[in-house]
Structure 1
Amino acid sequence: MNKEILKKSQSLIALFLLCLVITLLSDKFLTGANLWNVLRQISVNVCISVGMTLVVLMAGIDLSVGSVLAFTSVICAGFLKNGITIESLDLFVGFTVLGAVLAALIIGFLLGLFNGWAITTFAIPPFVATLAMLTIARGATMLYSEGIPISNLGSSFEYIGSGWFLGIPVPVWISIIVVLLMVFITKKTTFGRYIYAIGGNEKAAYLSGININRIKLMVYSLAGMMAAIGGILVTSRLNSAQPNAGTSYELDSIAAVVIGGTSLSGGVGSVTGTVIGAVIIGVLNNGLVLLNVSPFWQQVVKGLVILLAVIIDRKSKK
């Protein structure tokens, strides 16, 4: 019983020890301004990572979330600032903030749906299918933006990423809503139980009458939409859509999922564990910056943390 409790609490213990070490090494870490900054920064990774959690629970992977984030970012910014012009019809369609946000979410959903369609229709391994989407979406981002940032999107849109509501940053509120929604889906719905069943034993799930392909389509679509939410948060915080946004974000999200205790083999894990994993990644990034560690060493440390988390996962499975 004690071993089981210790196993479930290992992410929280790791977070506590990490915070303790950084606090001892830097007096700037536990300041109110810095802690809010950490929460604001991790809100993007939290949104992406909870979508990734559903994919990994199903024993899949999605390497395209960073590129999907970038593409939906420039689409949202481009629609908001420039609208859509159809010269042949002499037609111009303008977008409100809500319209641009909804367009980005729909496109994120469709890109994720395409991932799921490729995986289920052609039996392509998720690694390969989403790697292809990583390249496609990044190329589409450069084509649409012509490699130039789309800036000055207005104060209303900027409020989404930089504003405060009831004393808490708006991005934090958005990430809380996303997390609560995903916890409800995974814990209280038939759809959530099917995800665990497929990850635990896909053949047994199929023989039980579960529509495997439909569940995979929905999961990858949700992952794409979560990436779009992350893109909206990044773009609104900077008040600018950067064509190179989202680079290596897929690594941070996978790291958060694995550190949070979700097994790469599928069937085991939770959204709340992923949130803890995302906080660990965010605190680690923030601590390394406060300690003036070289960005190159930051990548090395992050890679080692991911490797350690996977090793622990494999040991736990045994």
Structure 2
Amino acid sequence: MSSTDSANATQATSGVSMKRSLRDLFVSQGVLPFFLGGALIIFTLATDKFLTFDNIVNVARQSVYLVLASLGQMIVLVTGGFDLSIGTAIAITSVVSASVMVFVAGMFPDMIWLALFMGILAGFASALLIGGINGVGVAKFNVSPFIMTLGVQSMGAGVALFITGGVPVGGLPYDFGDFFGFGRILGVPVPVVIALIVIVAIWIMMNRTKLGSHIYAIGGNIKAANLSGINTGRTLLLAYLACSLLASLAGVLLTARVESGETNLGGTMALESIAACVIAGVSLRGGIGRVESVVLGAFFIVLVQNGMNLLQIGSYMQMVLLGGLLIMAVVIDQLRYKMLIGDR
């Protein structure tokens, strides 16, 4: 064999190896590595303000809220359902916690931390009520997650508007926004510290506990999980409660950030959290999803929004592009699923 033929054979072999590596990466991780790499290249070439340390740190801070909501969405998606009421859980948490804080602070002006504690607790309780209603409807009455969470979303939005009359709840204690919105622990923003703790906790739950294994089992085959002795109803209820609780935590941090109770907080969070999960390789059929990938998926969504803001792309067009990304990710997820089935 001549040296030219040998070189051509080597190139062909390396080409096949590269295609196989990319295919394996796609099957195992989904579209996220390709989308993330493409976004980094496009925005870096488009503006020199994008790939800077300060901007990446800013993106990481802004992604905290979506990361928390996406982790909750992932838990529900892995069971084979999804939650459209995440935005409502955030809004209800915001207005309830703000209203209770203002009321308790007015009653006990010298006990500000009591007001903060009672407000946050009330916000969590209101979100858990939403998650409980979703969980009971899906687990006990076999209502479609789409219909159940859509109905709860509408009800919750109406309750939030009823509580506030459409007017933001102001006059929150200064310490609330100062610590939970803009405070730092050892130089790290408090929201980032809280998000890191939650990420570790959810990773342990999903990968090292019976609850996590039960959630994956239900998503893989709920009938088989039921026959194997798993209490599928209780597990589904806990999944929806966890989703609402994580959304509620995001609502508390967002309320501290804007320093008022807002009914429109989290309005796009349901769409964005589903997009982050699907792009991160979480299967809409259930049973597949990784915590670390979802965190990176949420970071990717905020990164793309940041890049579009730097390029001065309007908010309406951003909604179009985000919806297009979601549709593209779902279509590609179908292809990935067929490849997964073919490999088995």
Report how far residue 307 of structure 1 moved. Answer: 0.9
Aligned 8 A contact 1:55 1:219 in 2: yes
Q: Provide Cα deviations, 1:87-115, integer angstroms capped at 9, x if missing partner.
A: xxxxxxx9421221122122212210111
In 1, the alpha carbon distance for the partners of 2:327 and 2:236 equals 27
TM-score normalised per structure 1:
0.93
Q: Give the gaps of 5 or more residues in structure 1.
A: 87-93
Structure 2, gaps ≥5 residues long: 1-19, 108-112, 339-344
Give, as a single letter, the amino acid of the residue that structure 1 aligns with 2:305: N
- 1:181-219: per-residue Cα shift (whole Å, max 9, x none)? 111000000110000100001111111111110000000
> Of 79, 83, 97, which aligns to 1:76?
97
Structure-2 separation of matches of 1:180 and 1:221: 18
**TM-score, length of structure 2 as denominator length:** 0.86
Which residue identity lines up with residue 67 of structure 1 in the other structure? Answer: T
- By how many angstroms is 1:239 displaced? 0.7
| Alignment map for 1:31-50 (pairs within 5 Å) | 31-50=52-71
> Is contact 1:12–1:276 with CA below 8 Å preserved after alignment?
no
Q: Percent identity?
A: 36
Does the alignment pair 1:160 with 2:187? no
Partners of 2:181 and 2:253 within 8 A in 1: yes
| 2:197 paired with 1:199 | no
Structure 1 pair 98–84 and aligned structure 2 pair: CA distance change class (3 A): closer
Aligned partner of 1:26 among 24, 28, 47: 47
Q: 1:6 Cα shift?
A: 4.6
Query: In 2, Cα distance between the equivalents of 1:106 and 1:84?
Result: 19
Residues 216 and 85 of structure 1, relative CA distance in 2, 3 Å threshold: farther
Distance in 2 of aligned mates of 1:245 and 1:209? 40
What do the CA deviations read for 1:225-246 (whole angstroms, capped 9, x no partner)?
0110010011000111112211
Separation in 1, partners of 2:231, 2:58: 43
Q: Aligned partners of 2:154 and 2:102: how far apart in 1?
A: 26
CA distance in 2 between counterparts of 1:80 and 1:236 reads: 12
Q: In the alignment, which residue of structure 1 is the partner of 2:314?
A: 294
- Aligned 8 A contact 1:53 1:274 in 2: yes
Question: Residue 36 and residue 264 in structure 1: after superposition, are their counterparts in 2 closer, same or farther (change >3 A)?
Answer: same
Contact 2:105/2:173 (CA < 8 Å) preserved in 1? Answer: no
> Do the aligned residues in 2 keep the contact of 1:44 with 1:230 (CA within 8 Å)?
yes
Figure out how many residues of one structure are paired with residues of the other and give that number.
312
Of 151, 154, 158 in structure 2, the residue corresponding to residue 135 of structure 1 is 154
Structure ID, larger Rg:
2
Residue matched to 2:235: 215
Give runs of aligned pairs for residues 95-174 of structure 1, distance below 5 A. 95-158=114-177, 159-174=179-194
CA distance in 2 between counterparts of 1:110 and 1:142 reads 17
Query: Would the aligned equivalents of 1:153 and 1:239 in 2 still touch at CA under 8 Å?
Result: yes
Look up the SS of the partner of 2:225 in the other structure: helix
CA contact (8 A) 2:68 2:247 kept: yes
**2:26–2:336: 8 Å Cα contact kept in structure 1?**
no
Q: Distance in 2 between matches of 1:284 and 1:241?
A: 27
How far apart are the structure 2 equivalents of 1:100 and 1:108?
A: 13
Q: 3-state SS of the aligned residue for 1:288? A: helix
Distance 2:26 2:229 in 1: 36
Aligned CA RMSD, in angstroms, stands at 1.9
Is the CA contact 1:67–1:137 (under 8 Å) kept in the aligned structure 2?
yes
Residue 90 (structure 1) aligns with: none
Whole-Å separation in 2 of the counterparts to 1:305 and 1:264: 15
User: Secondary structure of 2:93's match?
Assistant: helix
Q: 2:252 aligns with which of 224, 232, 241?
A: 232
